Copies of this chain bind each other. A is one copy, B any other.
Amino acid sequence: MARLAGVSLATASRVLGPAGTRRVGSELRHRVEKAARQLGYTPNLVARTLAHGASDVVGLIVHDLTDPYFAMLAGGVMRAAERRGLVVLISATRRDPEREIAHVATLRAQRARAIVLAGTRVTDDRLTGRLAAELERYRAAGGRAACVGRTVLPADTVVPDNHGGAARLARSLAALGHRRFAVLAGPPELMVVRERLAGFAEGLRDAGLPDPQVLYGDFDRDGGHALAERLLAEGTDATCVFAANDVMAVGALAALRARGVSVPADLSLAGFDDIPTSRDTVPALTTVRLPLEDMGERVLDLALDPDSAGEWRAERIPAEVIIRESTRDLR
> How far is A253 from B280 in the complex, measured between Cα atoms in Å?
8
Please choose the segment from A6-14, A107-115, A163-171, A185-193 that sits at the chain B interface, where 4 or more of its residues have CB less than 8 A away: A107-115
Tell whether, in the assembled complex, residue B71 and residue A65 are in contact, meaning their CB atoms are under 8 Å apart.
yes
Main secondary structure of the interface of A (DSSP, over half): helix
> How far is A40 from B136 in the complex, measured between Cα atoms in Å?
11
Tell whether, in the assembled complex, residue B282 and residue A57 are in contact, meaning their CB atoms are under 8 Å apart.
no
Least Cβ–Cβ distance between A147 and chain B, in angstroms: 19
CB neighbours (8 Å) of A68 from chain B are: 66, 68, 71
A32 CB–B CB distance under 8 Å: no
| Residue in B65, B106, B110, B137 whose CB lies within 8 Å of A74 | B65
Q: A65-B65, A75-B65 are in contact. Are A106 and B87 (CB under 8 A)?
A: yes
Which residues A265-288 have CB closer than 8 A to chain B? 276-277, 279-282
Tell whether, in the assembled complex, residue A57 and residue B89 are in contact, meaning their CB atoms are under 8 Å apart.
yes
> How far is A282 from B64 in the complex, measured between Cα atoms in Å?
25
A43 CB–B CB distance under 8 Å: yes
Please choose the segment from A45-53, A152-160, A194-202, A226-234 that sits at the chain B interface, where 4 or more of its residues have CB less than 8 A away: A45-53
Task: Report the interface size class on chain A.
Answer: 35 or more
A221 CB–B CB distance under 8 Å: yes
Q: What 0/1 readout, one digit per residue, does chain A (245-261) give for beta carbons within 8 Å of chain B?
A: 00000110110010000
Which residues A65-122 have CB closer than 8 A to chain B? 65-66, 68, 71-72, 74-75, 78, 82, 87-92, 105-106, 108-111
A239 CB–B CB distance under 8 Å: no
Tell whether, in the assembled complex, residue B88 and residue A89 are in contact, meaning their CB atoms are under 8 Å apart.
yes
> How far is A9 from B151 in the complex, measured between Cα atoms in Å?
41
Tell whether, in the assembled complex, residue A92 and residue B111 are in contact, meaning their CB atoms are under 8 Å apart.
no
Tell whether, in the assembled complex, residue B40 and residue A137 are in contact, meaning their CB atoms are under 8 Å apart.
yes
- List 20 other contacts, CB 8 Å, given A57-B57, A78-B91: A44-B50, A44-B109, A45-B110, A46-B50, A46-B110, A46-B111, A47-B50, A57-B89, A65-B65, A65-B78, A66-B72, A66-B276, A68-B71, A71-B71, A82-B91, A87-B91, A88-B90, A221-B276, A251-B280, A253-B280
The 8 A-B pairs of least Cβ separation, nearest first, read: A282-B282, A45-B109, A42-B109, A66-B75, A71-B71, A254-B280, A46-B49, A46-B111
User: Can you give 28 contacting A-B residue pairs, CB < 8 Å?
Assistant: A42-B105, A42-B108, A42-B109, A45-B110, A45-B111, A46-B46, A46-B50, A47-B50, A57-B89, A57-B110, A64-B75, A65-B78, A66-B71, A66-B276, A68-B68, A68-B71, A71-B71, A74-B90, A78-B92, A82-B92, A87-B91, A87-B106, A88-B90, A89-B90, A221-B276, A221-B280, A250-B277, A257-B282
